[in-house]
Amino acid sequence: MEKRKKIGIMGGTFDPIHIGHLILGETAYQQFHLDKVLFMPAGNPPHKRDRKDRADNAQRTEMVRRAISSNAHFELSMEEMEKDGLSYTYETLEHLKQLHPDTDYYFILGADSLYDFDKWKEPGRILKACTILVATRNHTSYERLEAVMTLLEEKYHGKIEKLDSLNIDISSRQIRSWIQEGRSLAYYVPETVISYIVENNIYKDCDTDEIRLHQV
């Protein structure tokens, strides 16, 4: 019998992608012995419709491509970016499983998102289509996380595992704020991505000369 493939999915707007995303992807790959991790930029997620003065789809895609290019088991997926209309996770997962019935999918999620999981479109179908790998942040109570994991597993008859990742408490919103303040992004964002942000003046309210100075 042929061995089933194990593929991780790291979805997000990646506006911009940062070291936290990359560390979670690598942690999932190592801890769950995945074959690869797909980095999947969201095209038009229903919960993030107001994206004024942010990176456009092509720019977000290019930042992801640059960030993961040196890692052989990271791969860019355009599954959601190329889809017309709103992008729902359950549809993406079901489509992937239909295309690749020999593959088990592992969807990487932050604890904050897990707490809102009941509000997602078709949470039961999501958990039927994948195993959720949940990462924690500094402000997250382990007791609360365990309780929510158990509740969701019992409610939707799915499987949720905890990622043993470093607690990198950083967000893309924080990164954008730092750009506007002229703070250094060094070591928080890959250098190739910093260069791309500067060259293309993606986040218009920021002083790109200051960002350039802080790259060293």
Q: Is residue 158 part of a domain?
A: yes
Q: Is residue 182 part of a domain?
A: no
Is pLDDT of 207 > 70? no
> Mean pLDDT over residues 16-39, rounded?
96
CA distances from 183 to 16, 150, 211 (A): 15, 40, 7
**Could you tell me the pLDDT band of residue 205, with boundaries at 50, 70 and 90?**
low
**C-alpha 23: how far from chain center:** 11
Cis peptide bond prior to 16, omega within 30° of 0: yes
Q: Is residue 10 part of a domain?
A: yes
Compute the distance between CA of residue 110 and CA of residue 114 in angstroms, rounded to an integer.
6
Q: Is residue 208 part of a domain?
A: no
**Percentage above 90 pLDDT, the chain:** 73
Number of domains in the chain: 1
Is pLDDT of 206 > 70? no
Residue-level pLDDT at 101: 97
Residue-level pLDDT at 141: 81
What's the pTM?
Answer: 0.89
Residue-level pLDDT at 47: 54
Q: Is residue 176 part of a domain?
A: no
> Mean pLDDT over residues 57-78, rounded?
97
Query: Which amino acid is located at 187 in the chain?
Result: Y
**Could you tell me the pLDDT band of residue 43, with boundaries at 50, 70 and 90?**
confident
Q: Containing domain of residue 71, as a range?
A: 5-168
Residue-level pLDDT at 44: 66
Task: Tell me, letter by letter, the H, E, C secondary structure of the chain.
Answer: CCCCEEEEEEEECCCCCCHHHHHHHHHHHHHCCCCEEEEEECCCCCCCCCCCCCCCHHHHHHHHHHHHCCCCCEEECCCCCCCCCCCCHHHHHHHHHHHCCCEEEEEEEEHHHHHCHHHCCCHHHHHHHCEEEEECCCCCCHHHHHHHHHHHHHHHCCCEEECCCCCCCCCHHHHHHHHHHCCCCECCECHHHHHHHHHHCCCCCCCHHHHHHCCC
Smallest CA-to-CA distance from 126 within 148, 154, 156 is with 156
Q: Is residue 49 part of a domain?
A: yes
Residue-level pLDDT at 51: 53
CATH number of the CATH domain containing 65: 3.40.50.620
Residue-level pLDDT at 139: 61
Q: What is the mean pLDDT of the chain?
A: 89
Q: Is residue 180 part of a domain?
A: no
Residue-level pLDDT at 48: 55
Give tens-digit pLDDT for 84-113. Answer: 888 899 999 999 999 999 999 999 998 889
**Could you tell me the pLDDT band of residue 166, with boundaries at 50, 70 and 90?**
confident
Is pLDDT of 210 > 60? no
Q: Is residue 209 part of a domain?
A: no
